Amino acid sequence: MALVPMRVLLDAAAKGTYAVGAYNVNNMEQIQAIMAAARETRSPVIIQASRGALKYTNFTYLRHLMLAAVEENPDIPVTMHLDHGNSLETCKMAIGLGFTSVMIDGSLKEDSKTPTTFNENLEVTRSVVDYAHPLGVSVEAELGTLGGIEDGVGSGTVHLTDPDQAVEFVKLANVDALAVAIGTSHGAYKFKEEPRLALELVAEINSRIPDTALVMHGSSSVPQELVDMVNRYGGRMPNARGVPISAIQSVIPHGVRKVNVDTDGRLVVTAAIRKVFAETPEKFDPRDYLGPARTALTVLVAQKMRDFGTAGHAGEIKQKSLGDMVEFYRKKGII
C-alpha cells in the first residue's frame, strides 16, 4: 500500500473505535523500529516529523527515509505527517516534500511560544486548509494550549479547549482532526504531582462534533522503568511524570483517533544507549548502541499499538490516493 492521507486512517479508526499512534522520528533507526512494530502488530501508522526534525536532517534526508519505510512495507498503511507546523509556508514546504498530512498549530504564533486569539488561529488554519485540501492532503489543527515545551514548541501554560469554540472552529475551518487541550503537557516533566486531566472535556467535545477526529498531544506515559534505567546509567531525570495509559484508553471511545508519542521514544532510546555505554565502555561502533536502541524502541511502539487498539487493523484500510481525497472533499462541498 502506498502512502495514504491521514484522513483515511482516522476514518477507519472511527469505524473500529481505536486510535492510531503518531510517532515522531529524527533518524533511520527510529523509523525502522516503528515500522518493525507496525509489521509485528499489523497496525496502520502515522510517522510524523517536527520542523526541528526536518531541519536536523536537512529536510530531504528524512523524507527519503520515510519513503523507504513505505517502499519496504507495501502492506502497511503509512501516513507522513508534519507535527506542529507554525505557518502556511511551513505546511507548503512539507506538502512539497510529499507529506500526506500536516498539522497547523495556530494556537501559537509563528514563534511557537506566544498564544494566539481564536480568530488568529482560525485565519492561519483556514489558509492551510484552503491550500491542502485541493491537493488531497489532510489537515490537523489545535485549539487551546498545552503545558510544557518540547522541540521548541509550547507556551508553557495550559488553556483548556472550550467546547463551544471547538464547534465553531471546526465548522469554519473544515479540518480533518482537532487536537484538544485537556491538561496534558509536552515533554518528560508533565506534572509535579499525579495528573489531573479534564477527560470529561473529550466526551463533551466529541458529542458536539462527532465526525471530527480528536487528537491527544503531550500524551507520552513516561514509564517509570525507563526513567529509572536512564538514571541508573548516569542520567539525571528527577520527578519525570507522564500520562497514564489508562487515561488515554478511557477517551478513545469518545472520539480520540490519534495519539502523539515522542517523549517515550526518546526515553527508551536514551536508556538503551546509556546501558551499552555503561556496561561495555569499550564499544565504539555506532551499530553497537543504535542497534539495541532500535530494538528497544520496537518493543515500546508495538506495546503502544496494542494499548491504543491499533493492532490488527492494517488489512482493513482501503487504499485512497491524494487524488481520491480531492474528490472526497469536492463531494462534501469543502473545495
Catalytic machinery residues: 83
Distance, CA of 126 to CA of 139 (rounded, Å): 10
Q: Which residue is listed with cell 502506498? A: 2
In degrees rounded to 5, what are phi and psi of residue 86? -110, 0
Residue indicated by cell numbers 485512497:
320
Q: Which three cell numbers stand for residue 115?
A: 498564544
H or E stretch covering 247: helix 245-251
Q: Which of 114, 189, 102 is nearest to 145 (CA)?
A: 114
Distance CA 321, CA 136 (A): 8
Q: Please choose, from the candidates 96, 92, 218, 238, the residue with its C-alpha nearest in 3D space to the C-alpha of residue 151.
A: 218
| 161, 251 contact by CB (below 8 A) | no
Which set of grid coordinates corresponds to residue 319?
A: 487504499
